[in-house]
Amino acid sequence: MASARDVAVLVGSLRRESLNRKLANALRGLAPPALALEIVEIRELALYDEDLEANEPPAWAAFRARVRRADAVLFVTPEYNRSVPGLLKNAIDVGSRPYGRSVWDGKPAAVASLSPGAIGAFGANQHLRQSFVFLNMPVLQQPEAYIGGAGDLFDQSGRITREATSKFLVQFLGAFAEWIERVRPAASRRS
């Protein structure tokens, strides 16, 4: 039996009790056996500055190595001002450099965006997808995961309270697992 695909999960929120971190943790429990989801922290990444490449910050090196090892990347994000949080955009920039050595190149991607608002962080989700085109990251197109009204989505232990949302997320993760296999067949698995 093949081992599970290694999926790096990037959370676009710093707050310890953020709804998006809760979602990322819940997704780990809902993932099919074909996927092993691991949150990759981006909190310690210095703002991207090409001058720092001469003496690569250890946090950058560790982040780049971890994402490079992953079979795929799942982005879980809120929306700030109809766009991607600066923290997440910085992680994308750090991973895309130095030029020609992007850790994102060819990695299958998916986005789940979450918000207490009605439109489920649609703006951030779409902006990330624009970046994926340039980064050469084939992104799962369907189903799209925009989760609105998330203020009461989790119980005290972080479990999703809405059965329909849980079922949808299981479907979303199943489609992502299939997408990864389509984009990166088993023969191309990293050892």
Two tokens at 180? Answer: 């990864």
Q: Identify which has the larger pLDDT, 184 or 90.
A: 90
pLDDT band at 118 (very low <50, low <70, confident <90, very high): confident
Give the model's pLDDT for residue 82. 87
- Exposure string of 54-73, with b = 16+ CB inside 10 Å and e = fewer, is eeeeeebeebbebbbebbbb
Instruction: Write down the residue that tokens 């720092």 correspond to.
Output: 52
Is a pLDDT exceeding 90 seen at residue 184?
no
The residue-averaged pLDDT of 145-158 equals 90
Give the model's pLDDT for residue 123. 86
Give the model's pLDDT for residue 60. 98
Q: Which domains does the chain have, with CATH numbers?
A: 5-188 (3.40.50.360)
Q: How many CB atoms lie under 10 A from the CB of residue 17?
A: 9
Is a pLDDT exceeding 70 seen at residue 189?
no
Distances (CA, A) of 103 to 46, 93, 114, 143: 17, 10, 25, 25
Give the model's pLDDT for residue 148. 87
